[in-house]
Amino acid sequence: MSENLLDCLVVGAGPAGLTAATYLARFRRHILLADAGASRARWIPASHNCPGFPFGVAGNELLARFRLQADTYGVPQVRTRIIRLERFDGGFIASDGARHWQARTVVLATGVVDRLPAIEGLEQAIANGTVRLCAVCDAYEARDEVIGVLAPAQAAIGHAAFLRTFSRHVFALAADDSPWNEAAQQQARDCGIQLWPGPQRLELIDGACLARSAEGRRLRLDTLYPVLGADAQSDLAAALGASLDHEGALAVDDHLQTSVPGLYAIGDVVSALNQISVAVGHAAIAATAVHRRLPENYC
């Protein structure tokens, strides 16, 4: 066991964790940033709603800038996955299976993992914008295109309705084979959404997505939005009894503290809007709250 008690262990180095680590280092705290290296932001071909980047920024470039800022203030980083978090009198013990770290407080910035459809070439399609994963982020870029929203039938119309702000040509594609009842069909008519029953076969061809229905009908989409949910990486906190919402995201108070004292959560793993600006806002609030709860570090 390390003798070296950390003020704070930050788990996860996406926008949330890197920002929290930068704040804590600038508060002259003794911290460590542990990261498994799979930020959701790496998928972003170009973000156009990230404050301060009027001409857009690629996710990997943005992450590199966040990392450089953390490096500038000497944030120690370790590439590993924390697999266990336990309590002890003075705080928490984290383990990656081989090593242990003790920390007075922990900030979880572990994000979510998207549930993706099985489509060959998906990664490239995300890179070129044929498949998009976040309508709040980039529906503006898909305006006036033929857009398909792939989701469980009962949820698909609601998600498709969001896209109607951006295009007249929006299809709700059922990811399952449950039928739409008359009320759902009426809702779709009211919103100007076309229904495309499942199950689907989806292929990527020439920069477009081709959907084939069970009866063999074909639909060419400029953009596909799969909305199949995401798994919040909240297991470490859940094992300590932290409260979760109905989707497994962490419930937090106004200072981003979970229901476990000393355990904070920020970014996508929290029950909130999954956006970079939200993640960095969470980080600022949580890091400041952590600094205030720790013993004074007067110079």
Ligand X SMILES: Cc1cc2nc3c(=O)[nH]c(=O)nc-3n(C[C@H](O)[C@H](O)[C@H](O)COP(=O)(O)OP(=O)(O)OC[C@H]3O[C@@H](n4cnc5c(N)ncnc54)[C@H](O)[C@@H]3O)c2cc1C
**Contact positions vs ligand X (CB under 6 A):** 11-17, 34-41, 43-44, 47, 49-50, 81-82, 109-111, 114, 126, 133-134, 137-138, 233, 236, 267-268, 274-277, 279
Q: In terms of CB distance, is 9 or 161 closer to ligand X? A: 9
Q: Which residues pair with 201 in a beta bridge?
A: 212
Minimal distance in Å, beta carbon 184 to ligand X? Answer: 28
Interatomic CA distance for residues 267 and 111, integer angstroms: 6
Minimal distance in Å, beta carbon 272 to ligand X? Answer: 10
Minimal distance in Å, beta carbon 267 to ligand X? Answer: 2
Q: In terms of CB distance, is 125 or 195 closer to ligand X? A: 125
Instruction: Name the one residue in this structure whose structure tokens are 């390390």.
Output: 2
Minimal distance in Å, beta carbon 66 to ligand X? Answer: 9
Q: In terms of CB distance, is 11 or 160 closer to ligand X? A: 11
Q: In terms of CB distance, is 214 or 273 closer to ligand X? A: 273
Q: In terms of CB distance, is 44 or 285 closer to ligand X? A: 44
Minimal distance in Å, beta carbon 47 to ligand X? Answer: 3
